[in-house]
Amino acid sequence: MVTVSRRLFFALWPDDASRRALADEAARLAPLCGGYPLPAENMHVTLAFLGSVDEVRLAPLVDLAQGWPALRGEWRLDRLGHFPQPRIVWAGSQTPNDALLTLDTELWRALSRHGFTAPQREFTPHVSLVRQAGRAATRTTLTTPVIWRYDHLALVESRLDGEASRYLTLAHGQS
């Protein structure tokens, strides 16, 4: 029997105004950091990266996403950061967002009932802006803070398309 694996994660997607503002910021930063800006349609915050998941485990994850109650929240992005490996410049918050931290905890609690284990590191909500960034931005704050409004949780598949990733939403919670 051949098993098919899919690269999956749970995420929040930005509203259109936030997406445009973040894409503009990424375009400004990329030449300064030595990388390339992420496409606006790929910008998201990953809550739970599941990695390669056998397709036979997909149905309960779809049910989990579709059954997730409606979310109404805002996230203020006002900070820039840099992960030297995997060479990403990102946007996040200077102060913790309690609602996102709680959502992350609740999601991993639900995922544990399906055999998934939360990572042993602190959750730092962030949005990748620039990939292959050879250096951090010279400033530590966004040009203009972005207020990201979110309203649903999504189960997403990441598919490699040449060198780039394409994201396909498989299911989402109520909005």
Q: Indicate the burial class of 54 (C-beta count within 10 angstroms; 0-12, 13-18, 19 or more).
A: exposed
Q: Is 55 left (phi over 0), alpha (psi -120 to 50) or beta?
A: alpha
Give the residue numbers marked as catalytic: 44, 126
Taking a C-beta distance cutoff of 8 angstroms, is the pair 55, 7 a contact? Answer: no
Cβ atoms within 10 Å of 127's Cβ, excluding its own: 25
Q: Sign (positive/negative) of CA torsion 112, 115, 116, 120?
A: positive
CA-closest candidate to residue 24, choices 129, 94, 128: 129
